[in-house]
Chain A
Amino acid sequence: MAFEPKRPQKKLNYQELRLYTDEQLKNYTEEEVKNFKPKHDIPKLEQLEDGPWPSFVADAKRYALRRHKLGQENLLINEDVVDDLLGQLELSYVHGETHWKHGGIVGVIGYGGGVIGRYSDVPEQFPGVAHFHTMRVNQVPSKFYDTNFLRGLCDLWEYRGSGLLNMHGSTGDIILLGTFTEQLEPIFQELTQVLDVDLGGSGSNLRTPECCVGKARCEYALYDTQEMCYEMVMHYQDELHRPAFPYKFKFKFDGCPNGCVASIARADMSFIGTWKDDIRINQDAVQAYINGEFPPGGGSHKGRDWGKFDIYAEVIDRCPTGCMSMEDGKLVIDNANCTRCMHCINTMPRALKPGVETGVSILFGAKAPILEGAQMSVMVIPFMKAEPPYDNIKEIIDRTFEWWMEEGKNRERLGETIQRVGLQRFCEIIGVPPAPQMVKEPRTNPYIFWKEEDVPGGFKRDIDDYRSRHAR
């Protein structure tokens, strides 16, 4: 816990970092925004300006105005980049087709990931986005920031890039959207040398690991997701930047079975917090829920009148294993039959808490549908301690990497390799015995690939011996 970075952290102060003066930062009025006409006509996009949800078009338009007011002398890539992006987007809406091409070569020296090359296929019409390369910046684990870092990043990206970004991309990185090839190296140098932050992953490497909010602000966190995520991303920097895997590989760290960072659907190795002792019960608080003193679900259903809280209908009868009951006015849990689905805890968070002997379940092999169809991660290690320096877990990771690099085919995700060679083989590799926790049910076909050493006498047989008992 506390502040234990792997390397000294530069103190970032925006006043020292800054590229723009206060006057340059506040360089337009609301009136000017209202009257602003971007370079290209964008009637379709302008249909997205009203309505209650934040409008990316309204945001982009005012930012286009801001770039014009700043002027090309204060920007290193085209002042018109946002106008041209909106223009190309409008054209894409008209055609119902994207106008981007992919590039494979651009990047920063020595790294095989972190930069995605992109080019417009209508560059004469929209020269500002002729190049529109992406840079992935490794986010702070669980995405807390202060304004010194963010304002510094804004100035850097406005000066050397499009000033457009994602907070955050699907895998978790900050995504800087759109710059020219010439600026890739300078931006990388500013990021690493000044803002003290590295690029994230892309291509056949370890993708930027991601974790949930964890112990920072959640009572359900069963291990320190931030610390473990940070430790792993630092430990596996080479795997993150220099691709040599058969395909992408993702770690995600969920603090509990609620799964807020989707590890079970998206990560080749999903680390999900769990516990092995008993759910802690505060019987007074259970009574308070029954009496209606506490809102069920931490108030999650306040928007509709669902009637008085009914502990049977809402908790006991909903328990998937039926391991809960009321005896003499007290809530009783048969913990040996609990599968830790979190429903009772989620519903009565002030009365029930997970156990105190906590660790992680490790599941392997999730991926999106391409190619063999979607896969979720498979339960392989029901429980492991997850405490610094995590050597026990790194050992499992290293065995997994080594085997997959050897056994995996090009463009085969870990889950597909496991599917192809069988879960039992994978268990052998990482050194765990088979267990019924790994399957929903045992196999229904008897086509067992018996090994020679499993069968008395082995596979070498003598036909004469056989014939001594059986005529031809």
Chain B
Amino acid sequence: MEDIKKAIVEFLESGKTKTKFYFKDIEKAVKDKVPNARTLQIKKACSALINEGVLIYYSTGSTTMYGLKGKGITEDH
């Protein structure tokens, strides 16, 4: 679990201008780094990071993305 969380955070930190990502992008990046990670585990890791205040959800209402708290837009205007 910890290695998956680490991979998620590293991936989200790597974005240059883009700071919000779809779950599928995160999933792919994590699976590249942690080959035995399963989708459900990645989702659980994201949820845990949300609860810890490391990640935030970014929602258009119809779709949802994840971002690092403090990176890019983190407050509504």
A-B complex is real: yes
* CA gap between A107 and B59 in the complex, in Å: 9
Q: Does B60 contact A (CB under 8 A)?
A: yes
Determine whether the beta carbon of A242 is less than 8 Å from that of B59.
no
Chain A 46-84: CB-based contact to B (< 8 A → 1; otherwise 0): 000000000000000000000000000000000000000
> DSSP majority for the A interface?
loop
Number of chain A residues whose Cβ lies closer than 8 Å to a Cβ of chain B = 35
- Give chain A nearest CB distance to B53 CB in angstroms: 8
Determine whether the beta carbon of B56 is less than 8 Å from that of A102.
no
A411-B51 in contact given A104-B76, A402-B39 (Cβ < 8 Å): no
Number of chain B residues whose Cβ lies closer than 8 Å to a Cβ of chain A = 26
Q: Which of A32-40, A108-116, A218-226 is near enough to bind chain B?
A: A108-116
Q: Does A203 contact B (CB under 8 A)?
A: yes
Determine whether the beta carbon of B76 is less than 8 Å from that of A112.
no
* CA gap between A102 and B50 in the complex, in Å: 22
* CA gap between A119 and B77 in the complex, in Å: 8
Give chain A residues whose Cβ lies under 8 Å from the Cβ of B25: 410
Determine whether the beta carbon of A104 is less than 8 Å from that of B39.
no
Give chain B residues whose Cβ lies under 8 Å from the Cβ of A181: 76
Give chain A residues whose Cβ lies under 8 Å from the Cβ of B59: 104, 107, 112-113, 116-117, 202-203, 243
Tell me which of B22, B51, B75 has the highest count of chain A C-beta atoms within 10 A of its own C-beta: B22
Determine whether the beta carbon of B47 is less than 8 Å from that of A203.
no
Determine whether the beta carbon of A105 is less than 8 Å from that of B58.
yes
* CA gap between A204 and B60 in the complex, in Å: 9
Determine whether the beta carbon of B39 is less than 8 Å from that of A112.
no
Determine whether the beta carbon of B57 is less than 8 Å from that of A107.
yes
Give chain B residues whose Cβ lies under 8 Å from the Cβ of A117: 59, 76
* CA gap between A120 and B16 in the complex, in Å: 31
Q: Does A205 contact B (CB under 8 A)?
A: yes
Chain A 407-422: CB-based contact to B (< 8 A → 1; otherwise 0): 0111100000000000
* CA gap between A155 and B53 in the complex, in Å: 32
Considering the complex, give the chain B residue whose CB is closest to the CB of A242.
B47
Could you say which of A242, A247, A406 contacts B63, with CB atoms under 8 Å apart?
A247
* CA gap between A238 and B51 in the complex, in Å: 14
Determine whether the beta carbon of B51 is less than 8 Å from that of A248.
no
Q: Does A165 contact B (CB under 8 A)?
A: no
Determine whether the beta carbon of B22 is less than 8 Å from that of A410.
yes
Determine whether the beta carbon of B76 is less than 8 Å from that of A203.
no
Could you say which of A106, A202, A238, A409 contacts B76, with CB atoms under 8 Å apart?
A106
Determine whether the beta carbon of A104 is less than 8 Å from that of B73.
yes
Tell me which of B25, B47, B57, B58 has the highest count of chain A C-beta atoms within 10 A of its own C-beta: B57
Could you say which of A104, A244, A248, A410 contacts B46, with CB atoms under 8 Å apart?
A244
Give chain B residues whose Cβ lies under 8 Å from the Cβ of A243: 23, 57, 59, 64
A104-B43 in contact given A110-B50, A244-B23 (Cβ < 8 Å): no
Determine whether the beta carbon of A103 is less than 8 Å from that of B50.
no
- Give chain B nearest CB distance to A363 CB in angstroms: 22
Give chain A residues whose Cβ lies under 8 Å from the Cβ of B27: 405
- Give chain A nearest CB distance to B74 CB in angstroms: 7
Give chain A residues whose Cβ lies under 8 Å from the Cβ of B50: 109-110, 112, 242
B binding-site residues for A, Cβ under 8 Å: 22-25, 27, 39, 42-43, 46-47, 50-51, 56-64, 73-77
A-B contact pairs, 15 of them (CB 8 A): A103-B76, A103-B77, A104-B60, A105-B57, A107-B57, A107-B59, A109-B51, A113-B59, A202-B59, A203-B57, A204-B23, A244-B23, A244-B39, A244-B43, A411-B63
A binding-site residues for B, Cβ under 8 Å: 101-107, 109-113, 116-117, 119, 181, 202-205, 238, 242-248, 402, 405-406, 408-411
List the 7 closest pairs (A to B, CB-CB), nearest first: A203-B64, A103-B76, A243-B64, A112-B57, A203-B59, A244-B43, A204-B64
- Known A104-B58, A117-B59, A204-B23; further 14 A-B contacts with Cβ < 8 A: A102-B61, A104-B76, A105-B57, A105-B58, A106-B76, A107-B57, A107-B59, A110-B51, A112-B50, A112-B64, A203-B59, A203-B62, A204-B63, A243-B59
